[in-house]
Amino acid sequence: MWREDAGTVTDETEGPQWRVLLVDDHPLFREGLAAAVNLDQAFSVVGQAACADEAVAEAARTEPDLVVMDLGLPGRSGLEATRRILCGRPEARVMVMTMSEDDDSLLAAVRAGARGYLLKGAGRDEILRALHTVARGGAVFSPRMAERLGALLGASASASAKEAFPTLTAREREVLDLLARGLGYRQIAQRLVVTDKTVRNHVGSIFAKLQVRDRAQAIVRAREAGLGGE
């Protein structure tokens, strides 16, 4: 199920701090995970579920702080379960634990509200460290997945901007994005390897197409469409 790592994640406080709900349709994996989680005194497994409907019902019954969620559940997906649990209990934090490495699942899990995404090959200590991080309000993704997620979110923002500003050319959207990031005309010119005059011509065209009076209004429109992110 998972490999054993050296060392143990412990918490010096007495008694469990966080209540955990485990959702997975494989009983042996779920029981093994429960045993590992319960070894850490910071956590207490308060419920288990094998499908989305059970997960939603258990979340309402046990009021967990953390939910470890598999995506490949029978019937409704783990994504649907995540959305429904967070709708009823927005203060809960969900960490996905799955076999799926595909980009669509990763992006969909984040959009559903997941705070972390681990593969089932993760070691016990890696799982416990991730749970501690998510419980304290952080987010957990492997370096490779974090890089992929950044690229996916960037592509998503670009697609949203294209939909929001269909009259802009690709270069004009690029200039608008750099404006929204706070770059000046000369900095944009250096970044795009064009002249200041070319940048000003693009900006003038952007203002006309978006029907805005100045740079400030253009930046507001850009950020509303998801441009200008780091």
pLDDT at 143: 55
Q: Are residues 27 and 131 in the same domain?
A: yes
- The CATH number linked to 87 is 3.40.50.2300
Distance of CA 117 to CAs 16, 129, 140, Å? 23, 13, 6
pLDDT at 10: 45
Q: Are residues 31 and 94 in the same domain?
A: yes
User: What is the distance between the alpha carbons of residues 132 and 225, in angstroms, rounded to a whole number?
Assistant: 34
CA-closest candidate to residue 141, choices 123, 124, 126, 154: 126
In this predicted model, which residue has the larger pLDDT, 171 or 102?
171
Q: Are residues 90 and 181 in the same domain?
A: no
> How many domains in the chain?
2
pLDDT at 155: 55
Quote the mean pLDDT of the chain.
83
Range of the domain at 28: 18-141
pLDDT at 16: 66
Distance of CA 110 to CAs 7, 132, 195, Å? 30, 18, 40
Q: Choose the final residue of a domain: 141, 172, 190.
A: 141
Q: Are residues 120 and 160 in the same domain?
A: no
Distance of CA 192 to CAs 12, 168, 177, 204, Å? 53, 17, 12, 17
Q: Are residues 132 and 159 in the same domain?
A: no
Which two tokens mark 34?
């429960």
Residue 4 included in any domain = no
Residue 13 included in any domain = no
Residue 23 included in any domain = yes
Mean pLDDT of the 194-205 span: 92
- The CATH number linked to 193 is 1.10.10.10
Q: Are residues 22 and 131 in the same domain?
A: yes
Q: Are residues 113 and 83 in the same domain?
A: yes
Distance of CA 146 to CAs 40, 113, 126, Å? 26, 15, 16
